[in-house]
């Protein structure tokens, strides 16, 4: 690849001949420093090209994240300062926009029916995640992000919690990658496991909503099981997603009172709630809210690509395999506990 200079080439002067310093009025003049060279590589092209391509509706959030990680680890990200700034702006804005697609009346109705076991399961998952993170010595915010994603609704919960915790990009990338990997596995194994356990459609819908991270994977797995399973799972999972609001607010307050520095105030969560309420109760905003929500979903896919592109080999090596082990153990614990509760008739 040719080198392209960022500076202006230094003009030669008579005094430069023979390598000696130029003289002006009897005083020496130090030669100008060589211009800094910038090598243009594949990363200069692939990062912006990938950012455009992931906006296509056919590209899923998991594919976007993995594409960003692949580019960063293979070619590097020469635009890292710009992509980091973009993530800080687009991430909270996308979360606010998602509120336009929430029907609060339907979600709160479903949530009221399952309020008890939803609260218990979230509290139990957060406690187990905290204990496992300490036991496995998962550093930084990574353990907390994986725990929040497992307890509530996967990538959306991680996206909402990350700005509040002021998480680093590599912490968010690893957490999201862990959750998306387990989401894909859940799509394959949950339906046959449900049949093996003898779950009817209603019970399978509850189990899928409690034990699978992302709403999209919950829908995919329950759709394979039957229409009733799909309806039950979707309503419970959407109601569970509203727990992003109190959990994120609690994380922000706990972090500000702790010893690890101040957390940013989650004003975007307030925006999410206000927008959801407006789209629900103002008839003229139904269509607008849905449109904004769809745009926000694509923007969030772009954010996930940029987060993946900000991951470096050094950061990945510093984290090691422990976050993935945490995610797997926590996922197995939640799945086994919720299935056991269903078999025992507790839900």
Residue 4 pairs in a beta bridge with: 38
For residue 6, being part of any structural domain is answered with: no
For residue 5, being part of any structural domain is answered with: no
For residue 228, being part of any structural domain is answered with: yes
| C-alpha–C-alpha distance, residues 304 and 80, integer Å | 14
H helical segments located in 197-312? 201-211, 215-225, 227-241, 244-257, 267-281, 286-309
Q: Structural domain tally of the chain?
A: 1
pLDDT surpassing 60 at residue 5: no
CA dihedral 38, 43, 46, 48 (to 10 degrees): -60
For residue 338, being part of any structural domain is answered with: yes
pLDDT surpassing 50 at residue 2: no
pLDDT surpassing 90 at residue 53: yes
Q: Which of 165, 141, 313 is nearest to 248 (CA)?
A: 165
Residue 197: phi and psi, rounded to 5, are: -80, -5
| C-alpha–C-alpha distance, residues 164 and 229, integer Å | 34
Which residues have C-beta within 8 Å of that of residue 68, sequence separation ≥ 6? 50, 173, 304, 305, 306, 307, 308, 309, 310, 311
Query: Which is higher by pLDDT, 252 or 151?
Result: 151
Mean pLDDT of the chain: 79
Domain that holds residue 128: 91-343
pLDDT surpassing 50 at residue 21: no
Query: Which is higher by pLDDT, 270 or 54?
Result: 54
Distances (CA, A) of 260 to 148, 149, 189, 244: 18, 21, 39, 22
SS3 of 10, please? coil
In this prediction, residue 331 carries a pLDDT of 93
For residue 36, being part of any structural domain is answered with: no
For residue 138, being part of any structural domain is answered with: yes
Distances (CA, A) of 218 to 154, 188, 221: 11, 11, 5
Residue 23 pairs in a beta bridge with: 28
Distance of CA 145 to the CA centre of its chain: 9
Structure tokens at 290: 């849905």
pLDDT class of 264 with cuts at 50, 70, 90: low
Query: Which is higher by pLDDT, 98 or 111?
Result: 98
For residue 142, being part of any structural domain is answered with: yes
For residue 177, being part of any structural domain is answered with: yes
Rounded mean pLDDT of 127-138?
A: 92
pLDDT surpassing 70 at residue 167: yes
Structure tokens at 323: 């976050």
Structure tokens at 34: 């060589």
């Amino acid at each position: 690849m040719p080198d392209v200079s960022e500076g202006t080439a230094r003009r030669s002067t008579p005094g430069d001949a023979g390598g000696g310093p130029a003289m002006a009025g009897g005083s020496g003049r130090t030669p100008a420093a060589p211009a800094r060279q910038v090598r243009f590589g594949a990363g200069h092209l692939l990062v912006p090209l990938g950012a455009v391509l992931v906006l296509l509706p056919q590209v899923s959030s998991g594919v976007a994240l993995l594409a960003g990680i692949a580019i960063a680890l293979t070619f590097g990200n020469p635009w890292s300062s710009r992509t980091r700034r973009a993530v800080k702006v687009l991430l909270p804005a996308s979360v606010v926009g998602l509120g336009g697609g929430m029907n609060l009346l339907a979600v709160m109705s479903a949530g009221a029916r399952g309020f008890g076991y939803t609260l218990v399961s979230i509290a139990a998952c957060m406690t187990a995640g905290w204990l496992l993170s300490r036991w496995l010595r998962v550093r930084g915010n990574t353990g907390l992000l994986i725990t929040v994603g497992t307890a509530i609704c996967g990538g959306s919960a991680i996206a909402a919690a990350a700005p509040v915790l002021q998480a680093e990009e590599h912490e968010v990338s690893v957490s999201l990658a862990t959750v998306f990997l387990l989401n894909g596995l859940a799509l394959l194994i949950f339906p046959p496991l449900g049949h093996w356990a003898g779950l009817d459609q209603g019970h399978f819908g509850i189990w899928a909503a409690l034990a699978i991270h992302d709403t999209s994977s919950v829908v995919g797995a329950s759709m394979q099981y039957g229409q009733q399973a799909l309806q039950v799972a979707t309503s419970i999972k959407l109601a569970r997603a509203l727990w992003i609001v109190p959990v994120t607010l609690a994380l922000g307050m706990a972090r500000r009172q702790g010893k690890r520095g101040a957390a940013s105030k989650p004003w975007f969560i307030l925006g999410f709630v206000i927008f959801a309420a407006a789209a629900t109760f103002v008839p003229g905003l139904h269509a607008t809210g849905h449109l904004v929500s769809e745009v926000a979903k694509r923007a969030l896919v772009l954010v996930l690509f940029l987060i993946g592109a900000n991951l470096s080999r050094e950061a990945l090596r510093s984290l090691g395999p422990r976050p993935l082990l945490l995610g797997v153990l926590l996922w197995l614990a939640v799945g086994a506990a919720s299935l056991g509760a269903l078999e025992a008739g507790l839900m």
